[in-house]
């Protein structure tokens, strides 16, 4: 079949071959630069029980199912840095799954007012004391509160259940969506520069 002296069939075949080849190169590149490095990183992390990742509208979206960790603050920082080092790019979304139950959710709901007050006033010492009191009243086995320049980290443990919360602080909270870590999944989003 010819149109204006061009063989349409040959043009269509070349076009299809080109599209398939470009897709194959893109898939192979993604596997080499993202899939393999993330698999190697996560298989070395004893606290990571399972993980998934995909490309989302914001960039690389990673979901991690965490075991009962000693320190969510250092674990979170290690995961974020490890993902960035492995892939060469900062993840846009990091979903973390914990094993909370209704009792831990209710305890954290009571603590949340102290976190919000500390974020508004900068009274992190008072927040820590109030959370300690409420954790003791709730009969928690272990808990911790951490603060760095970007986030407030709260973790609560009772029996086989554990809850992790990472809350953006200050002006950075406008750059991030609020994070609530839960059994279904929730996300912390970082805007990449």
What are the residues whose beta carbons fall under 8 Å from the beta carbon of 34, sequence distance 6 or more?
53, 60, 87
Mean pLDDT across 129-144: 95
pLDDT at position 190? 40
Going by pLDDT thresholds of 50, 70 and 90, the confidence category of residue 30 is low
The per-residue pLDDT for range 48-77, each reduced to its tens digit, is 888 888 877 777 888 888 999 999 999 998
SS3 58: coil
Pairing of strands 93-97, 59-66: parallel
Q: How far apart are CA 11 and CA 24, in angstroms?
A: 20
What is the chain's length? Answer: 193
Contact 59, 192 (CB under 8 A): yes
State phi, psi for 179 to the nearest 5 degrees: -115, 130
State phi, psi for 113 to the nearest 5 degrees: -60, -35
What are the residues whose beta carbons fall under 8 Å from the beta carbon of 162, sequence distance 6 or more?
68, 98, 99, 100, 104, 155, 156
Question: DSSP E strands: which ranges in 21-170?
Answer: 48-56, 59-66, 93-97, 142-147, 151-158, 161-168
Task: Inform me whether the pLDDT recorded for 178 exceeds 50.
Answer: no
Domains of the chain: which residue ranges?
Answer: 7-97, 102-184
pTM check: above 0.85: no
Mean pLDDT across 115-127: 93
Task: Inform me whether the pLDDT recorded for 181 exceeds 60.
Answer: no
CATH 3.30.300 fits 7-97, yes or no: yes
Residue 97: strand pairing partners: 65
Pairing of strands 142-147, 93-97: unpaired
Contact 142, 65 (CB under 8 A): no
Mean pLDDT across 99-124: 94
Q: What is the CB neighbour count within 10 angstroms for residue 181?
A: 24
């Amino acid at each position: 079949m010819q149109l204006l002296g061009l063989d349409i069939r040959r043009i269509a075949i070349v076009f299809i071959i080109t599209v398939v080849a470009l897709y194959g190169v893109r898939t192979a590149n993604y596997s080499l630069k993202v899939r393999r490095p993330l698999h190697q990183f996560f298989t070395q992390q004893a606290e990571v029980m399972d993980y998934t990742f995909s490309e989302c509208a914001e960039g690389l979206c990673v979901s991690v199912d965490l075991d009962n960790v000693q320190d969510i603050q250092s674990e979170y920082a290690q995961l974020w840095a490890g993902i960035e080092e492995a892939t060469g790019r900062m993840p846009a979304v990091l979903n973390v799954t914990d094993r909370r139950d209704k009792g831990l959710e209710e305890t954290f709901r009571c603590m949340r007012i102290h976190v919000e007050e500390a974020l508004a006033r900068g009274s992190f010492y008072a927040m820590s004391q109030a959370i300690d009191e409420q954790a003791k009243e709730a009969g928690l086995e272990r808990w911790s509160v951490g603060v760095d320049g970007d986030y407030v980290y709260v973790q609560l443990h009772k029996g086989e259940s554990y809850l992790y919360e990472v809350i953006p602080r200050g002006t950075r909270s406008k750059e991030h969506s609020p994070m609530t870590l839960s059994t279904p999944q929730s996300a912390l989003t970082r805007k990449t520069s």
